Amino acid sequence: MAELIHVSKVKIIKDKGPLRRAYIENFPEPVRYGVHGGIKKFYGVEPPEDVPTTLDHIIAAVAG
């Protein structure tokens, strides 16, 4: 069996509509998630501001 290297500890706070904040252990500032562009059109929402989606962060991590 492989050795456990790391366990991520994250707390998600749901704000208004699709907006969320992810607090990741050892990082004082939250990562903000929401919707923008075609995503908000697909879900039929109009958030108070455009914010990157969780999908944007996954793609950026894989592409990086």
Structural domain boundaries enclosing 39: 10-63
Shortest CA distance to 37 belongs to which of 14, 58, 18? 18
Note whether residue 4 is domain-resident.
no
Note whether residue 27 is domain-resident.
yes
Note whether residue 14 is domain-resident.
yes
Note whether residue 57 is domain-resident.
yes
Find the helix or strand (DSSP H, E) in which 62 lies.
helix 54-63
Residue 37 neighbours by CB under 8 Å, 6+ apart? 50
Please report the pLDDT score of residue 25 as a whole number: 97
Residues found in the chain: 64
Mean predicted confidence (pLDDT) in 2-16:
95
Note whether residue 3 is domain-resident.
no
Residue 33 neighbours by CB under 8 Å, 6+ apart? 19, 20, 21, 22, 51, 52, 53, 54, 57
Q: pTM for the complete prediction?
A: 0.79
Note whether residue 28 is domain-resident.
yes
Note whether residue 1 is domain-resident.
no
- Provide the domain count of the chain: 1
Note whether residue 5 is domain-resident.
no
